[in-house]
Amino acid sequence: MKTTAINHTATLAAQSKYSTTPLRALNPRTLTVDIVLPVLNEAYILEESVRTLCMYMEDNLPYHYQITIADNGSTDGTRRVAAMLTEHFPAVRVVCLPEKGRGRALKQAWLQSRADIVSYMDIDLSTNLDAFVPMITPLVTGDAAIAVGSRLMEESQTTRGLKRDIISRCYNRLIRWTMRTKFVDAQCGFKAMRRGVAQQLLPHVKDTAWFFDTELLVKAEYEGYTIHEEPVEWIEDTDSRVHIVKTATEDIKGLSRVRGEYGRATLFEAAGFGGLLLMASMLYLWNITINGMANSYYAAAAQAASVNWTAWLFGSLDAANFMSVDKPPSA
């Protein structure tokens, strides 16, 4: 476990947009935790995941809780399944947004919540739930403002493909070098924060999609919030949904934007930043062209190559002619 209180450079500290206040321990007798599940066309897995989560929390979470299904633009029956789950599980509620965007869904669900601690996890439950209580404990005691699961700590146990692991590690090192941050894993879908912190911080987070997590943590660290990192056991889900090239481009643009918001980089930093972004872009493309050829999803693309060359390069196509994966390539 790692909890870090960040010491900023004078330049960044002088530009702080808002101040943080000392944290006090929360009352465990009245404490409520909101667990948000952002979903987009997840009808096929939603019921199983919610049932698993409810049973686990009933047996292991020593606090009151609610589960919020945050649907952002589903068209496959997800809302119908979510409504059914609210009838069977009193702790489940639903928030529906007409527009897509995981960051948008999390932001709205967290800002609407009245729970003492707001959190989220990926609907596939890739992260072992045994890490949840240890992760939020520093929030309860007042030792941290934000808590995140980390797949890249020495104690973590991660099961995923080699190339995706390389992409993730390179992306997180890119963040640490260019943004001068200390947290290890920006994109693990397993995070929590105190409600007061969310109300202060979220209005300043601009991204509404996959870069949301990175921007949230970078700005939290810049503003002096204490971030607790909890090692997790994580198993990759190979289901595929997110537009890789678009996501990679948005990540790069997002890093540049956030760095600019907190001051102009020196010539040396700017050169290094550009070089690392170029390297990241090449790694993303390497991941697209090489990593996927091992499974049948991509093998099917070979049959489509004679019709569309992009299928050969980027994998099988969805209705919008994009190859897609369920998590950003940096995750």
The angle that helices 267-286 and 162-179 make with each other, rounded to 10 degrees, is 170
Q: What is the pLDDT of residues 72-129, one digit of tens each?
A: 999 999 999 999 999 999 999 999 999 999 999 999 999 999 999 999 999 999 999 9
The C-alpha atoms of residue 284 and residue 267 are separated, in whole angstroms, by 26
Query: What pLDDT shows up at residue 275?
Result: 62
Q: Where are the beta strands (DSSP E) in the chain?
A: 2-4, 32-39, 64-72, 92-97, 117-121, 146-150, 157-159, 190-194, 227-231, 233-235, 242-243, 324-325
Enumerate domains of the chain plus CATH numbers: 2-235 (3.90.550.10), 242-325 (no CATH)
Q: What is the mean pLDDT of residues 239-262?
A: 77
For residue range 40-80, what is the model confidence (pLDDT) as tens digits? 999 999 999 999 999 999 999 999 999 999 999 999 999 99
User: CA–CA separation, 329 vs 248, rounded Å?
Assistant: 7
Q: Inform me whether the pLDDT recorded for 161 exceeds 80.
A: no
DSSP-assigned beta bridge partners for residue 67: 35, 92
Is pLDDT larger for residue 182 or for residue 280? Answer: 182
- At residue 149, the 3 state secondary structure works out as strand
Q: Which amino acid is at 328?
A: P
Q: Give CA separation, 267 vs 275, 278, 327, in Å.
A: 12, 17, 34
Query: In the prediction, which pLDDT does 251 show?
Result: 84
Q: If DSSP codes are grouped into helix, strand and coil, which group holds residue 272? A: helix
Q: Is the pLDDT of residue 30 over 60?
A: yes
Helix (H, G, I), strand (E, B) or coil at 66: strand
Catalytic residues: 213
